[in-house]
Amino acid sequence: MVGGHLTACYVAKAIYWNRLVFCGVLSKVIFQDTGKGLLLACLCFLFSSMAHAANLPSFPVVQQSWQSSYARLLDRHGQLLTRQRINKEQHRLDWTPLYEVSPALIDALIFTEDRDFYRHHGVDWGAFSRSVANYMTGQKTRGASTLTMQLVALLDKDLRWQTGGRTVGRKWQQLQAARHLEQQWTKSQILEAFFNLTMWRGDLQGVSAASLAMFGKLPSGLNRAESIALVSLLAAPNANTERIAARACVLINAGYDADCDAVTAIADSSLNRRKVPMAESPDLLSLASRLLNEANQTVTTTLDAKLQRYAYESLRTQLTALESQKANAGSVLVLNNETGEVLAYVANSGLVEDSVWVDGVQAPRQAGSTLKPFLYGLAIEKNRLTAASVIDDAPINISTPLGLYVPQNYEHDFKGAVTVRTALASSLNVPAVLTLGKVGVEPFWQLLNEVGFNLQEQPDYYGNALALGGADITVWQLANAYRSLANGGVWRDVSLVAKDANSPSSPEKRILSSQASFIINSIISDRNARSLTFGYENPLATPFWTAVKTGTSKDMRDNWCVGFSQHFTVAVWVGNMQGLPMRDVSGISGAAPVWNSVMSYLEGDNRGDAAPMAPEGVKRQRVTFEGFKQPSYDEWLLEGTEQSLVSYQADTTPMIVYPVDGTIIALDPDIPAAVQKVYFRAHHGGETLHFWLNERDLGVVADNYAWQPRRGRYHLRLKTLSGQTRHEVFFEVRGKLSPSSVSLRRRR
């Protein structure tokens, strides 16, 4: 019976010469144990089976069928911006080529798992024969699986280890498959596939996921100590760190060149990490969640990774400086003027951890003064005003169904008679409200919708407040609206995802004439005209041509800076995620420094760009003024509206300009009493008049009289020296001061 079994075995030996050693070893054992001889016959039969070998896929098929658990967002140059895990059942990154694996890790793997890897053809017969002999004689066996044998178990689920161990038949099938694989694949392909298909620890599959999760670096950067720690996981991927460190030290003592203490420290600090770092900041989280929705998906954007990082860091730096002033959030959007491509999309500062998924680029905020250029552009286009027209920046009160509307400037003062150029560049509020009265609320509302603001309410809802930004807009809308000014009044949509050459171009529409747009751009680029409010030196000034506007919403909850050069448009919003008022943070001090930093980065050393050329239909003319203090200067005017002399006649009727009759003034308990002032303002009409408050003479009427408010009802009159009343108003002060404010007032 035994002889028949040996005959079968030697038939199999004739097919593969290197089985002779194996069968010879077994023969000695078999002659001592007939039962084990029967087992030999089964082994030899199974060894001849080619079924599993034939089912193994090729290397290109394995590589191409690999799917990352993540979707990737790339910049315009193919650089990784961010990745987002979509498939929660697997934890894989992209396929890792062998040339991106550290040589130290390759050495550690071969030393640990298969030292004869480059000498055998899939099966290490000497090691395997010794293992079988030990098994047959009841001695402790040592693993004899080569890397190739382990790989075929990863490729074919029927050849994998199962609870209770592998059957002898399955082991023989694995041997046959390994020999077949070595005939079809190169050694480098076997190593590469092994590194990618192996489950290293927990749900981390593939060497890149394991290396990033546990060591915070790509596998190309692993040193020898990290490498031996990583491959020590193969024997027991989820063992505790003490056991893994002990195994690594055994390997080091067996001849691997590494320091045992260093490996132990690495095991303690690194091997229990399971989170793959995204290698990106919170600025792209919300964008990635919107664009990425399938595992292994790759979306190429129009963004520029270097610019994205720079814009994000500029915003973070500015917000860190403003942290004590309750500014902790912001966003930045950069557009290419010509193509409409989004070059940077900073949606979140990341300073408020529980709000990192909020997209500040798409979140609606109050516009502040950023809508004024479109208001004046409409007035100029309709010939209601020219850039040289004079508007009186003086206190006004407008009756509305809800009461009196009394606009004030940011600085709580009034500049008197100013040109439209000065009024817009210096962002004066009263002239803007008066201009809205000239063009109408509904036409302005229609223009804002045409330019992409998509206002949610009807014109009557906004009323006169629309001139001062009493509407909610987004950074996305604002940036492209200003880009339309940069493009001569032509609006086109923007693109964020890269398009191929055959993609249709975005439809365009004209929202303002090229002539009106040119004049507006000239005004908001005028450093001298804006100096009345902002001074000559400020973050809006650049060494190259730019047109820019700031905005601050009610109670300083939001501030903006948006503007463009010849090539780029940059929009910045700064505020806080709680929607609370900031402390003394305006567009010029909050958002403008970020705008300047990003714009300077974009233009680099560019100093040659002059102002854009004037289109046909616009004339430059010297204008002289009379009736108020305004030096002559050269102004751009639409053809047909040219004028060389502009006269202004001030209203000299004696009257109290502020407060208006019926005003209610509220005390703020959070502000020290000494800081809270009410400025009485009046026209004296050439007479010597005094302010009288109730029955107290406050003195001669000057430009502004600063009065310390207290609760009560008041009667303010303009009186001549003979006691005649020229004008009078009644107003009331409500509220109360905090105890600290009162004590501060008493100390002073």
Span 589-645, pLDDT tens digits: 899 999 999 999 999 877 667 789 999 999 999 999 998 889 999 999 999 999 999
Q: Which helix (H) or strand (E) holds 715?
A: strand 712-720
pLDDT, position 67: 94
Mean pLDDT for the stretch of residues 57-85: 94
Please report which confidence band the pLDDT of residue 168 belongs to, taking 50, 70 and 90 as the band edges: low
Residue 7 above 50 pLDDT? no
Residue 150, pLDDT above cutoff 50:
yes
Model pLDDT for residues 491-510, shown as the tens digit of each residue:
999 999 998 767 777 789 99
**What's the token pair of residue 181?**
């694989």
Task: Give the domain 49-270 fold.
Answer: Penicillin binding protein transpeptidase fold (1.10.3810)
The pLDDT of residue 304 is above 70: yes
What is residue 608's predicted lDDT score, i.e. its pLDDT? 64
| Range of lowest pLDDT (395-404, 658-667, 713-722) | 395-404
Q: Which range has the worst mean pLDDT, 207-216, 238-247, 386-395, 416-425?
A: 386-395
Greater confidence, 74 or 25? 74
CA–CA separation, 647 and 638 (whole Å): 19
pLDDT of 74 above 60: yes
Backbone angles phi, psi at 457, to 5 degrees: -110, 165
**pLDDT, position 199:** 95
Cis, peptide link before residue 659, omega less than 30° from 0: yes
Of all residues in the chain, what percent carry a pLDDT higher than 90? 60
Average of pLDDT values for 559-580?
94
Query: According to the 3-state scheme, what is the secondary structure of 164-230?
Result: CCCCHHHHHHHHHHHHHHHHHCCHHHHHHHHHHHCEEECCEECHHHHHHHHHCCCHHHCCHHHHHHH
Per-residue confidence (pLDDT) for residue 165, from 0 to 100:
52
354: pLDDT strictly greater than 90: no
Q: How far apart are CA 231 and CA 108, in angstroms?
A: 7
**Under 8 Å between Cβ of 369 and 552:** yes
Output the pLDDT for position 600: 95
564 vs 552 pLDDT, higher one: 564
Residue 685 pLDDT greater than 80, yes or no: no
Name the pLDDT band for 551 (thresholds 50, 70, 90). Answer: very high
What's the distance, CA 620 to chain centroid?
Answer: 43
Considering the domain delimited by 343-620, tell me its CATH architecture. 3-Layer(aba) Sandwich (3.40)
Does the pLDDT of residue 735 top 90, yes or no?
no
Identify the pLDDT of residue 583. Answer: 84
Confidence of residue 275 (pLDDT cuts 50, 70, 90): confident
List C-alpha distances in Å: 569 to 329, 340, 478, 561: 21, 9, 10, 11
For residue 401, pLDDT beyond 70: no
Full-model pTM? 0.79
Question: What is the residue-averaged pLDDT of the chain?
Answer: 85
Report pLDDT for 46: 45
Supply the angle between the helices 147-155 and 103-113 in degrees, to the nearest 10. 100
419 band by pLDDT with thresholds 50, 70 and 90 = very high
pLDDT attached to residue 9: 37
What number is the average pLDDT over the span 411-434?
A: 88
Least confident stretch, 233-237, 358-362, 433-437, 685-689: 685-689
Give dist(CA 146, CA 121) in Å, integer: 10
Kindly indicate the confidence band of residue 742, based on its pLDDT and cuts at 50, 70 and 90: very low
Q: Which residue has the higher pLDDT, 132 or 283?
A: 283
Is pLDDT at 123 greater than 80 in this prediction? yes
Q: What is the mean pLDDT of residues 700-704?
A: 79
pLDDT of residue 674: 72
pLDDT at 26: 44
The CATH superfamily of 655-747 is Immunoglobulins (2.60.40.10)
Higher pLDDT, 12 or 412: 412
* Percent over 70 (pLDDT), the chain: 83
Q: What angle do CA 707, 732, 408 make, to 5 degrees?
A: 65
pLDDT at 12 (0 to 100) = 38
Q: How confident is the model at residue 45 (pLDDT cuts 50, 70, 90)?
A: very low
Given pLDDT bands bounded at 50, 70 and 90, which one contains residue 172?
confident
Instruction: Assess whether pLDDT exceeds 60 at residue 516.
Output: yes
